[in-house]
Amino acid sequence: MITLRVAGRLLTIHRVLVRYGLGDFVRATHLYRPLRFVFYLSPWTWFTRRRGTRAERLRLALEELGPIFVKFGQLLSTRRDLLPVDIADELAKLQDRVPPFPGDIAKARIEEALGSPVTELFGSFEEAPLAAASIAQVHAATLIDGRAVVVKVLRPGMREVIGRDIEVLHALAALADRYWADSRRFRPTEVVADYEKTVLNELDLMREAANASQLRRNFAGSTMLHVPEVHWDLCRREVMVMERIHGVQISDVARLHALGTDIQKLAENGVTIFFTQVFRHNFFHADMHPGNIFVDVNDPANPKYVAVDFGIVGTLDPRDQLYLAGNFLAFFERDYRRVAVLHVESGWVPAGTRVDELESAVRTICEPIFNKPLKDISFGLVLLRLFEIARRFQMQIQPQLILLQKTLLNIEGVGRDLYPDLDLWKTAQPFLRDWVRERTGPRAILDHIRSNWPDIAEVLKLLPVIARRAIRQAYDGELVVRTETASIEPLQGELRESRRRTDVIIAAAASLLGGVIWLSFGTPPAWVGWLLTAGGAVLLANRLLQIDTGTRS
């Protein structure tokens, strides 16, 4: 249901777009069609004079509409392969040129949050901000002991402004769910709910400070990335104080070249950092637009990234990590059947999807892309092309992957600007291969058994009773597979499954016995014996529990 507040905001969006001479956007928006008379009767439509270029007017409109629209423009600015040059250049100004709010208001908010005058909290404080972003701005300061820091302060009234726009997004998502045929596939209400959590997290600077601390620990001792230190005693929900960093903004490519920076190494390290965060740490900075990335060029031959603004971070389910890595590897090996199988196994497409049809569709989309050198292949373009087949196979947008997709688009855009010859695959392929090997190798299995040993031990306690009952039932001819199907084909399937279960039980028992023998003779390495014993025991217990449950039912 559209409330008066939401309706008022929609009309405000209409007014701003038209006032800046962007009426084409209004006419192209289907949800405005019932109100198209508002457009034609609006005085702004007929009496507004267009001033400035198209790109300037778009940037100014986004700035006036507020933080959610500014963030949208920030994301677009990194996709120069999808935008005209003039618009991309102008939207890039949204990274760090958002109009600031007065310094005296910032001081008042700091004093209110920390409960003391600024003169007592800091050795010095600069009222003129270093940078202003869509949600907060940053001031330079020094601590009482002289260490240089930055103070981040939330903009006044941000919670109210963002709450209003989130309400608008929920209303639009509800309309889409009701009237848009593709809503089931794109799940707009879930996407908005997920984005709401993300943007509200940005309004809690204590959470951002915690994110920064975690990322700093993850990259402790790294030669590729530096994360500033947080000063926890001066952090509150609306104020955060952290180490001041110095460096060249990643978008200032001319200065990086002038300083003799190894640009290729810098670009390749950026790809490595991204994949390390996503796969090894499963904790990634998800707001990597150029305004948040600096370069330490004290040693130009070994440049080091410096990250700021940790309000948005992401994690993935371990299963999604594995399927994502497998999809990347299969895609670049042109194993389209594997891509199709992984999509079905992961649940990203309905279980009944025919693998051969999906494979054919993926091949049709991807083969033309491979006519280019790998270094020229855009991950963003691949995603857009894959969405072309989404309608046919009811492919669903995964909310847990939204942040990752956004971050990947950012990273690729920054990397292409920095080093146009960047071959993402050259850097990513060995990393992904090693990671998949580590996740599926014997050591990973052993580590999994060790971490789950309490549960395994509980199963082992039940094993003698279950095994004795199953063996007695088998000896007495009472061990049967129950079936209620009336057709011969399902019955044959059950019989095949029964034989398969028997084979699994024999193999598990052999593994268990082999492990016990290995350990009893003290044959090195001992972990092999433990692996065989535990693996066989868990598998045997699982199968026997299934049989016991089926017999009792």
Got the DSSP string for 371-425? GS-GGG--HHHHHHHHHHTHHHHTPPP-HHHHHHHHHHHHHHHHHHHH-TT--HH
225 bridge partner residues = 305
| DSSP code per residue over 60-115 | HHHHHH-HHHHHHHHHHHT-TTTS-HHHHHHHGGGGTBSPPPPHHHHHHHHHHHHS
Task: Give the CA distances from residue 141 to residues 127, 248, 449, in Å, rounded to whole numbers and listed in that order.
Answer: 9, 20, 51
SS in 3 state form for 39-67?
Answer: HHHCHHHHHCCCCCCHHHHHHHHHHHHCH
Contact 268, 219 (CB under 8 A): no
Residue 114 is encoded by which pair of tokens? Answer: 């920390």
Nearest to residue 224, comparing CAs of 187, 170, 291, 272? 272
**Stretch (H or E) spanning 193:** helix 188-202
Residue labelled with tokens 């190798």: 441
In the set 287, 417, 423, 548, the catalytic residue is 287
376 annotated active-site: no
Q: Which of 502, 483, 499 is nearest to 491 (CA)?
A: 483
Nearest to residue 165, comparing CAs of 65, 312, 62? 65
Which of 346, 367, 340, 113 is CA-nearest to residue 240? 113
Q: Give the single-character DSSP code of 230.
A: B
Contact in structure between 392 and 365 (CB atoms under 8 Å): no
Q: At what angle do helices 424-440 and 263-275 cross, to 10 degrees?
A: 30
Torsion sign over Cα 349, 351, 354, 356: positive
Residues in Cβ contact with 265 at an 8 Å cutoff, skipping those fewer than 6 apart: 301, 302, 303
What sign does the CA torsion over 340, 344, 350, 353 have? positive
Instruction: Give the contacts of 234 (CB within 8 A, at least 6 positions apart).
Output: 114, 121, 151, 240, 241
d(CA 490, CA 492): 5
Tokens, residue 500:
């398969």
Sign of CA dihedral 212, 215, 220, 225: negative
Length of the chain, in residues = 553
Q: How far is CA 324 from CA 102, 288, 318, 330, 544, in A?
A: 45, 20, 10, 10, 34
Indicate which residues carry an active-site annotation: 287
